[in-house]
Amino acid sequence: MNISSGLLALGFLFATTPGHAASVAERQDASVIEHLKDAGSDLSKPHNIDFFFYFPDQASANAAAIDLRTLGYRIVGIAPTSDESAWHLKALRSMVPELAAMNQSTRELNALAARHGGEYDGWGTSVVD
């Protein structure tokens, strides 16, 4: 196994305005997919994709988790951040990392996070042979 196949590919949302956030996040989706391809990942196979969120409090994170489960995501964890200034939520879904599907997920998850006062921070997955 080479080093790049063991790396986790992550996408992050860096913009602050809603309209700009979607376009930046969608470009980041394309970049992550390209990095997966370059690392030798088989993009025709389902990947276990991790999705990352931050919320101001545990109640908001728990409410978002309920919505995520309804949409078919599995909740991996909800915990305070190391500085305890927010709550981190990690969800998982098995899917093929195809650009249109990932862009749709990004739009959907940005909206879901915003409804609960939080932020969607992107996704990551391991290389699949």
The mean pLDDT value of the chain amounts to 87
**Residue 95 burial (C-beta neighbours within 10 Å; 0-12, 13-18, 19+):** middle
> How far apart are the C-alpha atoms of 99 and 113, rounded to whole Å?
21
pLDDT at 4 over 80: no
> How far apart are the C-alpha atoms of 54 and 78, rounded to whole Å?
9
Predicted confidence band at 21 (pLDDT cuts at 50, 70, 90)?
A: low
* Nearest CA-CA partner of 114 in 58, 60, 74, 76: 60
Does domain 8-126 fall under CATH 3.30.2130.10? My reply is no
* Nearest CA-CA partner of 61 in 69, 73, 53: 53
- Write out pLDDT tens, residues 68-100: 999 999 999 999 999 999 999 999 999 999 999
